Amino acid sequence: MRSPRQPPWAALRHRNFALLASGQFSSQVGSWMQQIVISWQIYNLTDSALSVGLVGLFRAIPVIAFSLIGGTLADAMDRRRLLLITQVSTLLLALTLATLTTTGLITEWLIYGIAFLASTASSFDQPARQAIIPTILPPQYINNAVNVNLITRHTGAIIGPTIGGFVIDWYGVPEAYWVVVALDVVQIGTIVAMRIPPLPGGEKRQGAGVRAIIEGMRFAWATPIVLVVLSEDFVNTFFGNTRSAYPTFARDVFLAGPEGLGILAAAPSVGALLGIAGALYVGDVRRKGLGMILCSLGFGLSIIVFGLGPTIWISALGLAGYGFVDAIADSMNYTLMITETPNELQGRVASLAFMMFAAGPSLGQLQVGFLISVVGPRQALTFGGSMIMLVALMLLIFARPLVRYGKVPKPAAG
C-alpha cells in the first residue's frame, strides 16, 4: 500500500534542496508573521472584521490574475533566477511596510496596496518553488521533499504568528515588521547559494506566450484526477479559512489580546507538524484520493469545533485538529500533483494549483470576514465547516476517479 519508508530528512541530503528548504523556512516565518501583524494592525485601525477580510481580497486578485503567467515563466526561464527576482521584490515591499509604519505614515489603504503587490510577487514565486523540486531531486524523493517543505511551512506558521504576537505586545507593530525584513534577507541568501544543474536530457525551456498558458490549462482539464484535486482544495480553503476570524476571537470573544492572537494563529501548525510526522513515518501512501476526502471531513469538523469552542484552548484544539488533517491532505495532494505532471509542465500546473490554493483562502478570508460582520463569529465558522463536510460527502459518492486513485512515484533508473 505504500513505498519503502525513507529517513525523515532524506531529501535534505541534496544540497540544493537543503538550501531551498532552509530558505523557505525563513520565508515562511516572515510571511506568517507579516500576515498576522497586518491583521492586527488593520483590525485596530478600523475595528472591523470585514476590513481584515478585505486583505484577503487584495491578496486574491493578483493570484487569479498573474499565477498562470508566473507558472509559464517558471517553465520558460531559469527557476532559480525567478525565485531571486520575486524574493528581492518581497524584501522591498517589507522594507516599505516597516518604514511607513515606523514613521506613522501608514494607512489602511497603503496596507491593502502592499498586500496586493506582495501577493503579486508570490504568484510568480510559488510556481517556481514547486516546479524546481523535480529538477533537483530524483522521483523517489518527491514525497519526502513535499513533507519536508510542509514541515518548514507549518513550523514557520507556528513561529511566525507566535513571535509576531509577542513582538507586538512587548515592542510594537513597527518592530515586528523589521523582523520580517531581516528574515527576507536570509531567504535571499539561500537562493544565491543554490547551484541548479541543466534540465535533464537536454530539455529546452518552453516559450512564455499564450499558447504555453493554454497548454498547461489543457493538461489539467484533460487529467480528471488533477482537476478534482484542484477543485476540492479550493472548496476547503474557501469555506475553511480561519485567519480573518483570529483577531475577532482573540480580542472580542475570548478577551485574550495579542497573546491570544498568536495562540490561535499558531495552533493549526502545531497540529500540522504532528500530521506531517505521521506522514513521514507512514511513507508515500497509495490511496491518496480516498485519503484526501477523509481528511476533508475531518477538516470541516475541526473548524466547527474552533467556532463553537467555549474557551480559547478548546478552540485552539479544534484548530490543531484542522492543521493535522490539512497537513496529511497536503502531503498526498502535492505529491500527486508533481507525480502526475511532466517536468516541462511543472511550472504551469503548479501555477494552477497555487491559483486555486491561494485564491481559495484569500477569497475565503473576505467571505469569513463578511459573515462574521453579518451573523457573528461562531455562526460564520460553523457554516464554513458544514459546507466542507457536505462537499466531501458528495466527492465520496460521485468522484470515483479520486476515490480509486492509487499510485506512488517509481525510483529513477540507474
Inform me whether the pLDDT recorded for 202 exceeds 60: no
For the question of whether the overall pTM of this predicted structure is more than 0.75, the answer is no
Pick from 45-54, 133-142, 188-197: least confident: 133-142
Residue 55 or residue 179, greater confidence: 179
pLDDT at 266: 78
pLDDT of residue 389: 93
- What's the chain's length in residues? 414
Q: Tell me which of 408 and 82 has the higher pLDDT.
A: 82
pLDDT, residue 244, reads 76
What is the average pLDDT across 8-25?
Answer: 80
Predicted local distance difference test score (pLDDT) of residue 8 = 57
Q: What average pLDDT does this structure show over 23-40?
A: 87
pLDDT digits (tens, 9 = 90+) for 108-117: 999 999 999 9
List pLDDT tens digits, range 262-307. 788 778 878 887 887 777 776 666 777 788 888 889 999 999 999 9
Point out the least confidently predicted range of 21-35, 55-69, 167-181.
55-69
User: pLDDT at position 114, please?
Assistant: 93
- pLDDT tens digits, one per residue of 320-359: 998 898 888 877 777 777 777 776 676 677 667 666 766 6
What average pLDDT does the chain have?
80
Q: Is the pLDDT at 201 greater than 70, yes or no?
A: no
The pLDDT value recorded for residue 203 is 46
Question: Average pLDDT, stretch 94-117?
Answer: 93
Range with top average pLDDT, 68-77, 103-112, 354-363: 103-112
Reply yes or no on whether the pLDDT at 206 is more than 70: no
CB 245, CB 304: distance < 8 Å: no
> Given this model, what pLDDT does residue 320 score?
92
Dist CA 187 CA 341 (whole Å): 28
Q: According to the model, what pLDDT value does residue 197 have?
A: 62
More confident residue, 94 or 141: 94
Average pLDDT, integer, range 149-175? 82
Task: Return the percentage of the chain with pLDDT > 70, whole number.
Answer: 85
Confidence grade of residue 316 (pLDDT, cut at 50, 70, 90): very high
pLDDT value of position 399 = 76
| Lowest pLDDT segment from 56-70, 132-146, 338-352 | 338-352
Amino acid 175: pLDDT: 92
Cell of 42: 488593520
pLDDT at 414 over 50: no
The pLDDT value recorded for residue 303 is 93
Q: What are 34-62's pLDDT values in tens digits?
A: 888 898 889 888 888 788 878 878 887 88
Radius of gyration of the chain (CA): 20
Q: What is the pLDDT of residue 222?
A: 67
Residue 359 has what pLDDT? 67
